[in-house]
């Protein structure tokens, strides 16, 4: 089973680079695993869906601001 882990974000925006930083940490932690690919992406929509082709499982890491004092986490 092949897995793709995608960190989404934009390195030019401070809060939006969370997915990219997580992807870098995961890549370092999972180095040597041939069944897992870690990618950093800034695209969305259909381009993101096309990136997922050929994998059995995909994990997407992204962040959003939910309002004053609020935070959300979902899987």
Residue 69 counted as domain residue? no
Residue 68 counted as domain residue? no
pLDDT score recorded for residue 5:
97
Structural domain boundaries, residue 11: 3-61
Residue 10 counted as domain residue? yes
The H or E element containing residue 18 is helix 18-29
pLDDT score recorded for residue 3:
98
The b-or-e profile of 39-50 (16+ CB within 10 A means b, else e) is ebbbeeeeeeee
Predicted structure pTM score: 0.80
Residue 67 counted as domain residue? no
Residue 74 counted as domain residue? no
Residue 71 counted as domain residue? no
- In whole angstroms, give the CA distance from residue 73 to residue 75: 7
| pLDDT one digit per residue (tens) for the chain, 75 residues | 999 999 998 877 666 788 999 999 999 999 999 999 999 998 888 999 999 999 999 999 988 767 666 555 555
Query: Which tokens sit at 53?
Result: 């082709």
pLDDT score recorded for residue 10:
82
Count structural domains, the chain: 1
């Amino acid at each position: 089973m092949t897995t793709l882990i995608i960190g989404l974000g934009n390195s030019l925006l401070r809060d939006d680079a969370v997915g990219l930083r997580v992807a870098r940490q995961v890549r370092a932690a999972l180095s040597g695993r041939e069944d897992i690919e870690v990618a950093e992406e800034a695209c969305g929509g259909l381009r993101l869906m096309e990136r997922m082709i050929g994998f059995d499982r995909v994990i997407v890491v992204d962040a959003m601001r939910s309002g004053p004092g609020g935070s959300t986490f979902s899987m």
